[in-house]
């Protein structure tokens, strides 16, 4: 079994756990509204173990994706690997540094949580575009195209959140954040399948 194959399997297994945890907390009686409440708010509910494992698993997927892309592209994967490393570190740390509960004053931990959230979403979105270029140049045009497509999806969510921040409106924050999740989860599935199936 090649490095990209076993790394691809780890990517798929880890992102499947991420998706499972997200599904559980979204169907559980948390009282949260997916259109408005951030995903991190599930960490403040009794279903915290599910979202904590889900979040950490995304970090594991990021680490495995670094290994896979490096095996596929060599040094050309360096920038994408650095971006994914930042994403992975942020996702693994977030469950231990939870957001401030709504209605409470800001705390140092809450501020760190916000930084980690940006350190996760921004780099993984950028990684999809950077990896797309490297994959195209490395002889994987099909994967490169879809990598860019899923990067665009995540970017749409990120732009939505930035607009809400500039206008100081919370509005559909939850919706835009979940669009980012859709983009990066689909991207990890793509990368995992590419490693397992040897797609180009």
The predicted-structure confidence for 54-108, as pLDDT tens digits, reads as follows 999 999 999 999 999 999 999 999 999 999 999 999 999 999 998 888 888 889 9
Residue-wise pLDDT tens for the chain (200 aa)?
A: 899 999 999 999 999 999 999 999 999 999 999 999 999 999 999 999 999 999 999 999 999 999 999 999 999 999 999 999 999 999 999 999 988 888 888 899 999 999 999 999 999 999 999 999 999 999 999 999 999 999 999 999 999 998 887 777 777 899 999 999 999 999 999 999 999 987 77
Q: Sort 42 into a burial class: Cβ within 10 Å, 0-12 / 13-18 / 19+.
A: buried
Determine contact, residues 124/87, Cβ cutoff 8 Å: yes
pLDDT at 198: 78
Q: With contact defined as beta carbons under 8 Å apart, do 80 and 131 qualify?
A: yes
Confidence at residue 181, expressed as pLDDT on a 0 to 100 scale:
97
**Rounded CA separation 191/93 (Å):** 23
Supply the pLDDT for residue 51: 97
- Count Cβ atoms within 10 A of the Cβ of residue 115 and give its class: 0-12 exposed, 13-18 middle, 19 or more buried: exposed
Give the predicted TM-score (pTM) of the model: 0.94
Residues 6+ apart with CB under 8 A from 110: 98, 99, 100
């Amino acid at each position: 079994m090649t490095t990209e194959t076993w790394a691809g399997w780890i990517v798929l297994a880890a992102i499947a756990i991420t998706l499972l945890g997200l599904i559980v907390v979204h169907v559980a009686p948390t009282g949260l509204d997916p259109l408005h409440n951030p995903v991190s708010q599930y960490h403040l509910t009794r279903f915290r173990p599910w979202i904590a494992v889900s979040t950490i698993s995304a970090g594991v997927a990021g680490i495995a994706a670094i290994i896979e892309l490096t095996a596929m592209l060599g040094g050309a994967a360096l920038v994408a690997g650095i971006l994914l490393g930042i994403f992975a570190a942020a996702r693994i740390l977030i469950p231990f540094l939870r957001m401030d509960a709504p209605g409470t004053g800001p705390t140092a931990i809450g501020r760190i949580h916000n930084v980690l959230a940006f350190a996760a979403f921004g780099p993984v979105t950028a990684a999809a575009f950077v990896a797309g270029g490297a994959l195209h140049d490395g002889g994987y045009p099909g994967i490169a195209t879809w990598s860019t497509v899923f990067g665009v999806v995540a970017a749409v969510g990120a732009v939505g959140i930035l607009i809400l921040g500039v206008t100081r409106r919370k509005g559909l924050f939850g919706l835009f954040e979940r669009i980012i999740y859709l983009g990066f989860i689909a991207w990890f599935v793509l990368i995992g399948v590419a490693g397992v199936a040897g797609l180009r």
